[in-house]
Structure 1
Amino acid sequence: MIFRQLFDSVSGTYSYLLASRAGGEALILDPVLEKADRYCQLLRELDLRLVKAVDTHLHADHVTGLGELRDRTQCITIMGEQSKADVVSMRVSDGDKVTIEGLCLDVMYTPGHTDDSYSYLMGDRVFTGDTLLIRGTGRTDFQNGSSRAQYESIFNRLLKLPDETLVFPAHDYKGDTVSTIGEERRYNPRLQVRSVDEYIELMANLKLPNPKMMDVAVPANMHVGLHQEELAKQGLALCARDAIASLGRPDILLVDLRETSERAKHGTISGALHAPYPGIAESLKPGGMLREVAAATGRRVVFFCAFGERSAMAVTAAKNAGLANTAHIEGGLDAWKKIGGPVVHE
C-alpha cells in the first residue's frame, strides 16, 4: 500500500494520500487548497490517478482543496450527508464504504466537533478528522458542535476499536504524527473523565479563541461547487422537471454515473445505463462503451449522478472527447426525487 501523511504548517493540517499500488487509483483525505501543487506533483511522481477526495468535516481553519483537485483531476469529492458544502459530488452516511481500487474505508459518523464530522476506518488505522486528536479532542463550540455528541462519538465508537488501531487525525499543533486508540484511552487528558457531564463541563471551560481563518474558510468551503448554471446556459443541462418529462423518449439515453452502492441505497431511473464515473474517460474514447452506443443509436446521452457534480464533469469530458450530443440532469437524482421523479430499486 502507498500511504503518505502530508502536513500544512500554516493550519496544522494533516492530509493523507492512499493507494494500493503504483499506477493505480488514489484517494486523498482533508486536502488543503494551498498544497494542491504539492499533491499533484506527488501524484505524478508516484504514477497515481486521483479518483476521490474526502473532507472529514467542514473545516474552519483552512480552505479545502476539494474544489481545486476536482478541477485539476476530475476526481469525485466526498463529504458526509449532513454537510452544507456545495462541492460534494458524493455524500456518505454511517456504515457506508468509500472504495478505490484495492482499498476500502468504512464510514463512521462521529459528530461533536461539528455536526458533519466523520471518521474513516481502514484496516489497522482510523482517520479521525478533528473528532479525536493526539492527546486532545476537537473543540465543540461552533458549527453546531456538541460536547455530548462528541463524547458519544469518542467513547462509544472510536474507543471501541482495538487498542492497537493507529490514530491519524486531521490536525496536530505539537508535532505528533500518529497515536493509537490504546494510547489515547490511557494518556489523552480530555478522556480521563468519569461521565458525559464531566466531559461537557471540561469542554465548556476551554475558552479557546476562534480560528484565525474561520470567517474566511467556512464561507469559502461552503461554496466551491461547480457552476452548473453555465452548462444550462449552453443548452447542456436539463432541469429535473424537463428530465422527468423526457423519460421514455427513444432519442435520449440516460446514463447513471453513480457507484453500485449508491444505486442500491437510493435507487435509479428506469432504463438508465450504468457507467460509473471513474471509468468515464475510457468509456468516451474511440471504441469505448458510451461512445459506441451513442454512435450506433444516435441518441443524446444525458448523464446524471447524485447532485449534478459528476454529471457536469462528464459533459465537459464528453465535449473534450469529441462527443457533442450530451447533457446532464441539473442537480442530479437529488433534484429529480425532490419533485417526485420516479425511481426504481434494482
Structure 2
Amino acid sequence: MIFRQLFDSVSGTYTYLIASRSGGEALIIDPVLEKVDRYLRLVEELDLKLVKAVDTHLHADHVTGLGALRDRTHCITVMGEQTAADVVSMRVSEGDRIAIEGLSLDVLYTPGHTDDSYSFLMGGRVFTGDTLLIRGTGRTDFQNGDPRQQYDSIFNKLLKLPEETLVYPAHDYKGDTVSTIGEEKRFNPRLRVGSVDEYVDLMNNLHLPNPKMMDVAVPANMRVGLHQEEIARRGWAVTAAEALALRGSRDVVLVDLRETAERQKHGIIPGSLHAPYPDLQENVSAGGMLHELAAATGKRIVFYCAFGERSAMAVEAAQDAGLTNACHIEGGMAAWKKASGPVVR
C-alpha cells in the first residue's frame, strides 16, 4: 500500500494520500488549496490516478483543495451528508464505505467539532479529522459544534476501536504525527473526565480565539461547486422537471453515473442505464458504449448522479468527445426526488 502524510505548516493541516499500489487509483483526505500543485506532482511521481478527494468536515482554518482537485483531475469529491459545502459530488453517512481500487474506508459519523464531522477507518488506521487530536480534541464552540455530541463520538465510537489502531488527525500544532487509540485513552488530558457533563463543562470554558482564517475559509469552503452553473450557461443542463417530461421518450437515454452502493441505497430512475463515472472516458470515447449508442440510435444522452457534480463533468467530457446533444440533470438525484420523480430500488 502507498501511504503519505503531508503537512501544511500555515494551517497545521495533515493531508493523507492513499493507494493500494503504484499505477492504481488513489484518494486524498483533507487537501489544502495552496498545496494542490504539490499533491498532483506527487500523484504523478507515484504513477497514481486520483479518483476521490475527501474532507473530514467543513474546515475553518484553511480553504479546501477539493474544488481545485476536482477541476484538474475530475475526481469525485466526498463529504458527509450533513455538510453545507456545495462542491460535494458524493455524500456519505454512517456505515457507508468509500472505495477505490484495492482498498476502502469505513465511514463513521463523529459530530461535535462541527455537525458534519466524520472519521474514516481503514484497517488499523483511523482518520479522525478534528474530532480526536493527538493529546487533544477539536473545539466545539462554532459551526454547530456540540461538546455532548463530541463526547459521544469519542467515547462511544473512536475509543471503542482496538487500542493499537493508529490515530491520524487532520491537524497538529506541536509536531506530533501519529498516535494510537490506546495512547489517547491513557495520556490525552481532554479525556480525563468522569462524565459527559464534566467534558461539556471543560469544552465550554476553553475561551479560545477564532481561527485566523475562519471568516474567509468557511464561506469559501461552502461555495466551491460552480461547475454546474457553467454547464447550465452552456445550455447543457435540464432541470429535474424538464427531465421528468423527457422520461419515456424514445429519443432519450438516462445514464446513471453513481456507484452501485449509491444506487442500492438511494434508488434509481426507472429505465436508466448504469455507466459508473470512473468508466466515463472509456464510455464516451470512440468505440465506447455511450459513444456507439449515440451514434447508432441518435439518442440524446442525459446523465445524472447524486447531486449533479459528476454529471456536469460527464457532460463536458461527452461534448469534448463529440456527443453534442449530451446534457445532465441539474442537481442530480436529489433534485429528481424533490420534483417527485419516480424512483425504484
TM range (shorter): over 0.9
What are the ranges of 5 or more consecutive residues in structure 2 without an aligned counterpart?
Answer: none
Letter of the structure 2 residue corresponding to residue 138 of structure 1:
G
What are the ranges of 5 or more consecutive residues in structure 1 without an aligned counterpart?
Answer: none
Letter of the structure 1 residue corresponding to residue 76 of structure 2:
I
Which residue in 2 is equivalent to 1:247? 247
Is the partner of 1:325 in helix, strand or coil?
coil
Contact kept? 2:231, 2:316, Cα under 8 Å: no
Which residue in 1 is equivalent to 2:330? 330
Structure 2 distance, partners of 1:234, 1:221, is: 25
Which residue in 2 is equivalent to 1:195? 195
Letter of the structure 2 residue corresponding to residue 46 of structure 1:
L
Number of aligned residue pairs = 345
Structure 2 distance, partners of 1:233, 1:125, is: 44
Structure 1 distance, partners of 2:148, 2:232, is: 44
Shift of 1:41: 0.2
Which residue in 2 is equivalent to 1:219? 219
Which residue in 2 is equivalent to 1:178? 178
Which residue in 2 is equivalent to 1:108? 108
Shift of 1:322: 2.1
Structure 1 distance, partners of 2:128, 2:232, is: 39
Which residue in 2 is equivalent to 1:79? 79
Cα deviation digits, residues 157-202 of structure 1 (max 9, x gap): 0000000000000000000000000000000000011100110111
* Matching of residues 70-149 of structure 1 within 5 Å: 70-149=70-149
Which residue in 1 is equivalent to 2:238? 238
Structure 1 distance, partners of 2:322, 2:84, is: 35
* Matching of residues 153-172 of structure 1 within 5 Å: 153-172=153-172
Contact kept? 1:226, 1:309, Cα under 8 Å: no
Structure 2 distance, partners of 1:8, 1:109, is: 25
Structure 2 distance, partners of 1:234, 1:187, is: 57
Is the partner of 1:242 in helix, strand or coil?
helix
Structure 2 distance, partners of 1:232, 1:285, is: 23
Shift of 1:230: 2.8
Which residue in 2 is equivalent to 1:312? 312
Shift of 1:234: 2.2
Structure 2 distance, partners of 1:198, 1:254, is: 54
Structure 1 distance, partners of 2:216, 2:19, is: 32
Shift of 1:287: 1.4
Contact kept? 1:165, 1:180, Cα under 8 Å: yes
Is the partner of 1:148 in helix, strand or coil?
helix
Shift of 1:285: 1.8
The alignment status of 1:38 with 2:42, answered yes or no, reads no
Cα deviation digits, residues 253-292 of structure 1 (max 9, x gap): 1000000010001001011110111111111122111111
Shift of 1:231: 2.1
Shift of 1:9: 0.2
Is the partner of 1:245 in helix, strand or coil?
helix
CA RMSD of aligned residues (A): 0.7
Letter of the structure 2 residue corresponding to residue 270 of structure 1:
P
* Runs of 4+ with >3 A deviation: none
Shift of 1:227: 3.7
Shift of 1:206: 1.0
Letter of the structure 2 residue corresponding to residue 335 of structure 1:
A
Contact kept? 2:111, 2:150, Cα under 8 Å: yes
Structure 2 distance, partners of 1:87, 1:231, is: 14
* Matching of residues 45-64 of structure 1 within 5 Å: 45-64=45-64
Contact kept? 2:303, 2:328, Cα under 8 Å: yes
TM norm structure 2: 0.99
Letter of the structure 2 residue corresponding to residue 56 of structure 1:
T
